Chain A
């Protein structure tokens, strides 16, 4: 178990270092000058040069990489070119939106997907299964911005239960803040739930064909008990893998939903920073996300060991 953990940790650290080099190199190659973007069309070339010097953009590439990477080690993420505030402050403001949103969406998606998957798998080939799979197929196919707009028109414009968008901040109270995250969380969760339900169903069906399931049934265990105790647990590995991927996506890949609901999340911060060539923000946030994804993957790997004792004993 310790060796297994250690190996995973070393791989995670190496990935981080490699990712930092790739992220930095790629972003430095793309064309665009943040100083020119800030000063616009009427500024002279000399003036742009003055600002570039003030922003420290004229130092050699390697020096700037070492400076940035060194900062990361001491958890100093640098200062935003455009906002001229520490990047960490920007991230802190956004994470209080993105993290709760991702967690709510993930919880919703799991609560919906697992029962649907169980139901479908246990009624494989029958009408209930066909209907459930038809609905999930629709859920996978429908563009989430369209779905989000439909939710807005129904719940915000027509029923006026929740705001059409925006985020009042947690300082406005827990309920108003949660209320504004509700629709986006649903819009994010349903397509994810559809995917997850389909994965859960096929994993369960595979497990249900195993010999030990027949044995369990043969020794007289009720079907429900077999399903929950034996089948679900064994089908968890693919489900956990997808959940891990979905969490990473929900944390930063939600730019479209953030735009439709004009939420100040991480996705929009990165998007804005890319268009304004606020490279330091892009680089640092991407690194944070890489770290988050690696951490989640590590957790998923560990949870495999929890659900599957064979992984524990093999090491």
Chain B
């Protein structure tokens, strides 16, 4: 009898223990490949900063949604003057920073003025270039006056570089970030992990997770066992080449989405013989995008024909402009007086899309008589030689900034491309807020770039996410590089 009692008690205990484990988990460990150099999104270009903090710890006046749309954030609404130059933002009431101080219009003025100041080290200072002045109307209302109408202003204010910071904590955000978001910073074990916990005084809809740890896993080979052992439950940016190892495992979900990363074969447009249109067009004809995507990106990735993401609403499909045609390429080279081919260099930065893609492109260009010498470079060298000094012929790089077609109109940009007609379109675009008109201008801009074969347009970098099948709410696409955890929860 006594034995039975013991067994029953044990069974009851076991049952209680197992039912309590049915309650949904509230913690999450996310793997990220690169460690942020610091934790201030307004003072650095490293994507890893936003991957940890955007929408989680820091918020802006507006924000970018999962599909690239502009959503209200700390500004609950806004009014735009008829001339398109004055934006009046109405701020949410009762918003507090994680250190307990109030968020109000003064903080907005401080944040925007800081970002556009002469000594600003904001990596996207250009986002604020159109701002003429910022006025505090009352604690909940702020008026931003622009020098000229700017169609993309609300979008710009949604970038991670435009988040709101407090004067009390702005200088220490690099080490101890203080924002208004649903998660607050808890700890950073350098080289190892960054931990966020739920903020109790959040103004918006509460989040489901109590704790989120971002663990730095630099080696793609280490990511698979980390998932399999359950140590890490999500890799939102997974190595495409490792997908085969987990895609048939029912415990995991493999999600292929889009990014804003146009992967291109950049061409130095001023350097002979690349200053000849026929030569650039010959290169475009020589490229076989399908083979490049298969070899450099495990077959994932969408071909592009100009500088715009196929996921963008203003995208125009120009992939048919230069079909893979070796004969045509040779003919164009002959027209350019280069029927015997020529030699050039191809500088490749470290990412595998560049290193693997470079081998394939070199062999494809060899087929039409262009003999490429491959020069692998580090990022630091690439930025120095290619990007700053423009000492290169060809290079491969993914331009991951969203909506960045305007880079082709920038003076002194490393493409060395100069076309007044294109510049005019971008200038008009900046002054236009009407959606239909913008779409038309963007269409023209894409077409000019394709016609001029400014660079070799290859493909849109895929976003490959792998996570626990029971996990919900992580972003499928990456309209900006972020890991928004506000809607993430465990099912059951």
Contacts and interface: CB of A to CB of B under 8 A. Distances in A.
A41 B262 CA distance: 14
A61 B119 CA distance: 24
A209 interface: no
B234 to A, nearest CB: 15
A190 B193 CA distance: 28
Contact of A156 (B45, B190, B225, B378): B225
Contacts of A31: 380-381, 384-385
B45 A157 contact: no
Contacts of B215: 166, 262
A169 interface: yes
Which of A42, A84, A85, A260 is the most central at the interface, judged by chain B CB atoms within 10 Å of its CB?
A42
Interface string B13-55: 0000000000000000000000101100000111000000000
A39 B384 contact: no
Nearest to A266: B191
Interface string A62-93: 00000000000000000000111100001001
A45 B126 CA distance: 12
Contacts of A164: 222, 225-226, 228-229, 231
Interface string A279-314: 000000000000000000000000000000000000
A33 B388 contact: yes
A126 B232 CA distance: 49
Given A32-B383, A33-B388, A38-B44, A169 B192 contact: yes
Contacts of B192: 166-167, 169, 262-264
Chain B, interface SS category = loop
Which of B35, B46, B118, B190 is the most central at the interface, judged by chain A CB atoms within 10 Å of its CB?
B190
Chain B interface size, under 10 / 10 to 19 / 20 to 34 / 35 or more: 35 or more
B127 to A, nearest CB: 9
Given A32-B384, A152-B225, A156-B225, A51 B121 contact: yes
Contacts of A268: 191, 218
Interface stretch (A3-11, A113-121, A219-227, A270-278): A270-278
Contacts of A264: 189-192, 216
Given A47-B125, A153-B225, A165-B217, A276 B378 contact: no
B125 A145 contact: no
Nearest to B129: A44
A120 B44 CA distance: 58
A36 interface: yes
Given A83-B37, A83-B190, A277 B380 contact: yes
Contacts of A269: 191
B336 interface: no
B399 interface: yes
Contacts, number: 153
Contacts of A275: 378-380
A137 interface: no
Contact of B45 (A43, A90, A153): A43
A276 B38 CA distance: 12
B191 A94 contact: yes
A143 to B, nearest CB: 12
B219 interface: yes
A166 B190 contact: no
Interface string B390-410: 000000000101001001000
B191 A82 contact: no
A93 B192 CA distance: 10
A125 interface: no
Given A83-B37, A83-B190, A268-B191, A38 B229 contact: no
A37 B123 contact: no
Contacts of A272: 35, 191
B44 A39 contact: yes
A261 B381 contact: no
A42 B384 contact: no
A270 to B, nearest CB: 11
A191 interface: no
A41 B387 contact: yes
B433 interface: no
Contacts of A84: 38, 174-175
Contact of A47 (B120, B219, B379, B412): B120
B93 interface: no
Interface string A250-265: 0000000001111111
B266 to A, nearest CB: 11
Which of B121, B175, B228 is the most central at the interface, judged by chain A CB atoms within 10 Å of its CB?
B121
A163 interface: yes
B380 A42 contact: no
A133 B300 CA distance: 47
A31 B380 CA distance: 7
A33 B190 contact: no
B136 to A, nearest CB: 27
A199 B17 CA distance: 56
B125 A43 contact: yes
B218 A42 contact: no
A82 B192 CA distance: 16
Given A166-B215, A264-B189, A38 B123 contact: yes
Contacts of B191: 93-94, 263-265, 268-269, 272
A186 to B, nearest CB: 15
B278 interface: no
A262 B45 contact: no
A69 B423 CA distance: 50
B221 interface: yes
A275 B378 CA distance: 7
Given A41-B387, A83-B37, A268-B218, A32 B380 contact: yes
Contacts of A160: 229
Interface of B: 35, 37-38, 44-46, 118-121, 123-126, 174-175, 189-193, 215-219, 221-222, 225-226, 228-229, 231, 378-381, 383-385, 387-388, 399, 401, 404, 407, 412
> Which 8 A-B pairs have CB atoms at the shortest separation, nearest pair first?
A40-B45, A264-B191, A32-B380, A82-B37, A164-B229, A259-B219, A264-B192, A31-B384
18 contacts: A36-B383, A43-B45, A82-B37, A83-B37, A94-B190, A94-B191, A152-B225, A152-B229, A160-B229, A165-B222, A166-B193, A260-B219, A261-B222, A262-B218, A263-B191, A264-B192, A269-B191, A276-B37
Given A164-B225, A166-B231, 5 more contacts: A32-B380, A37-B380, A38-B121, A157-B225, A265-B191
